[in-house]
Chain A
Amino acid sequence: MSKLAELTKGLWKENPVFRLLLGMCPTLAVTTEVVSGIGMGLSATFVLVMANLVVSSMRNVIPAKTRLPIFIVIIATFVTIVDLVMNAYAHDVHKSLGIFIPLIVVNCVILGRAEAFASKRPVFDSILDGLGMGLGFTLGLVALATVREILGNGTWFGMPVTGEGYTPFLLFVLPPGAFISLGFLLAGMNSIENRRKAHG
């Protein structure tokens, strides 16, 4: 696989949100507005890249038996760094993401990439993989948040886009709206994918 493919596979072919269906908890919870989606996506991207980097560079010293606790310690460290730095310098975003920042620790995408990729591959590939997966995750969150914020609040990036007379569908900023939107986005992705396959 070329270096470019390592980077781009996370965006569509192995998109963590739409194709692997990993990290569903933050995906459903923080996508009420695009800004929080981006905040969560970029935080997760940072953690992914750094965790992949560290895990990959230490892959020859990490004992197989205790690799999972070690991965978690490494991931938790970077998550805590994000939590602290964000609280200090991006207080509003931190407030709106709330508990979901610490919960990045248990985001399956991150542990999954450390286990399945970074612990077996060279450092540079792992960084590209983390970056691609992180950006793919961000992309997924933004897509979902776009649907939910526009339908559920009549805004996009906090700016009104639907005009005065629009009555927002509150359901879409509530949990059921997350599931419904995700379902239709998945259906759309699958339909595109099927058509692509059908055409060769």
Chain B
Amino acid sequence: MSSTKLILQSSPHLRDDDSVRRIMLTVLIALAPATVASVLMFGTRAVVVLVLAVLGCLAFEAIALKIMKKPLMPYLTDGSAVVTGILLAMNLPSGLPWWMVLVGALVAVVLGKQVYGGIGSNPFNPALVARVFLFISFPTAMTTWPVPGSDLFGMGADVATAATPLGVLKTDGLAALMSSDSNLYMNLLTGHVGGCLGETSAIALILGGLFLLLRKVISWEIPVTFIGTVFAFTGVFYLVDSSTYADPLFQILSGGVMLGAIFMATDMVTTPVTRKGMLLFGFGCGLITGVIRLLGSYPEGVSFSILIMNGFTPLIDRYITPAPFEDKGGELQAP
């Protein structure tokens, strides 16, 4: 053995497969309302995307483990691949060609997770890596949104499509958005708007979030600061010029803010461990989302904002250190 160095790591120190499985199961239960809502809105197309994404993630996980000569168990059955698959599906439009869903699964598992060494080692949220990969690779397919509630038992791409509310806002302006849907806020809450599978019903997502909070799988800091910052940032613009900028309530209910803040930005592996760090993380996500939405050329910025903040996580964890030890000139000393 050449390496007898003492390895210093921040918490958590205990890695326990059962707890991974328990957490993943809780997340799956929390995702259930939103999953059901997506199937109700988009019908068989949503089912196809969900099934393909989950099976794809499991299959590619198994292949990747084989290639890297790691044991299949317990990695394959710890539920993380299933969660990644469902989260990926939640970030895709229904009616996406089947092979693109599989490409997404491949990217999520291999490029998002396994190249870094598997579960617990990935710096970026795998499902979001895959979403952004697909979004940049296939911009047309990834921005073709079937109209919710139409042609529920159909297959394939032959379906009526519509822009998302955020898309309408970006290309046609606020007046067009407001006149496009007389019942906009109610529809945003129930999910009767175009968008990704999981970007639709705010109520279903919040229900899942409350369950996660209750089971202590996530804590309140990131979701609340994320959503709060988006609200505050867009609110300032709204107050200054309410004829151009949409109101903050619309901003937090539309697009991926709820899904991102509750399920994606709270991923334990890729977000800070300390409370202060989490507050900073949520604030950063909200700010970047607001900047992209209002000042950038893309209508939506949630996935980019979370990935960017994922990149900052090691830095945040490093500079907001847990209390018991102080960092003095590079040496760890007891206070």
- A98 close to B (CB within 8 Å): no
- The binding surface of chain A is classed by DSSP as helix
- B238 close to A (CB within 8 Å): no
A-B contact count (CB 8 A): 21
Interface stretch of the complex, out of B26-34, B130-138, B215-223, B262-270: B130-138
Cβ–Cβ contact A170 & B137, under 8 A: yes
- C-alpha gap A171/B100 in the complex (Å): 13
Contact with A along B88-119 (1 / 0, CB 8 A): 00000000010010010000000100010000
Q: Which residues 166-194 in A have Cβ within 8 Å of B in the complex? A: 167-172, 174, 176, 180, 183
- B296 close to A (CB within 8 Å): no
In the complex, residue of chain B having the shortest beta-carbon distance to the beta carbon of A167 = B138
In the complex, residue of chain A having the shortest beta-carbon distance to the beta carbon of B103 = A169
A170: B residues at CB distance < 8 A: 136-139
State how many residues of chain B have any CB contact under 8 Å with chain A: 11
- C-alpha gap A171/B111 in the complex (Å): 13
A180: B residues at CB distance < 8 A: 111
- The binding surface of chain B is classed by DSSP as helix
- C-alpha gap A162/B138 in the complex (Å): 17
- C-alpha gap A170/B141 in the complex (Å): 12
- C-alpha gap A46/B128 in the complex (Å): 43
- C-alpha gap A98/B137 in the complex (Å): 24
In the complex, residue of chain B having the shortest beta-carbon distance to the beta carbon of A152 = B137
B133: A residues at CB distance < 8 A: 171, 176
Cβ–Cβ contact A174 & B138, under 8 A: no
In the complex, residue of chain B having the shortest beta-carbon distance to the beta carbon of A174 = B136
Q: Which residues 128-156 in B have Cβ within 8 Å of A in the complex? A: 133, 136-139, 141
Most buried by B among A167, A180, A183: A167
Smallest distance from the beta carbon of B132 to chain A beta carbons, Å? 8
Q: Which residues 228-281 in B have Cβ within 8 Å of A in the complex? A: none
A168: B residues at CB distance < 8 A: 137
A167: B residues at CB distance < 8 A: 97, 100, 138, 141
Smallest distance from the beta carbon of A167 to chain B beta carbons, Å? 6
B100: A residues at CB distance < 8 A: 167
B115: A residues at CB distance < 8 A: 183
- C-alpha gap A31/B103 in the complex (Å): 23
- C-alpha gap A197/B100 in the complex (Å): 38
Cβ–Cβ contact A169 & B137, under 8 A: yes
Q: Which residues 11-56 in B have Cβ within 8 Å of A in the complex? A: none
B138: A residues at CB distance < 8 A: 167, 169-170
Q: Which residues 116-174 in A have Cβ within 8 Å of B in the complex? A: 167-172, 174
Smallest distance from the beta carbon of A36 to chain B beta carbons, Å? 21
B141: A residues at CB distance < 8 A: 167
B97: A residues at CB distance < 8 A: 167
- C-alpha gap A105/B252 in the complex (Å): 49
A169: B residues at CB distance < 8 A: 103, 137-138
- C-alpha gap A180/B124 in the complex (Å): 14
- C-alpha gap A167/B100 in the complex (Å): 10
Smallest distance from the beta carbon of A21 to chain B beta carbons, Å? 18
- C-alpha gap A169/B138 in the complex (Å): 7
Known contacts A167-B100, A167-B141, A171-B136, then 7 further A-B pairs from the complex at CB < 8 Å, ordered by chain A residue: A167-B138, A169-B137, A170-B139, A171-B137, A174-B136, A180-B111, A183-B115
Please list 21 pairs of residues, one from A and one from B, whose beta carbons are closer than 8 Å in the complex, sorted by A's number: A167-B97, A167-B100, A167-B138, A167-B141, A168-B137, A169-B103, A169-B137, A169-B138, A170-B136, A170-B137, A170-B138, A170-B139, A171-B133, A171-B136, A171-B137, A172-B137, A174-B136, A176-B133, A176-B136, A180-B111, A183-B115
Binding site for A on B (CB under 8 A): 97, 100, 103, 111, 115, 133, 136-139, 141
Question: Nearest 7 pairs between A and B by C-beta?
Answer: A171-B137, A169-B137, A171-B136, A170-B137, A171-B133, A174-B136, A170-B136
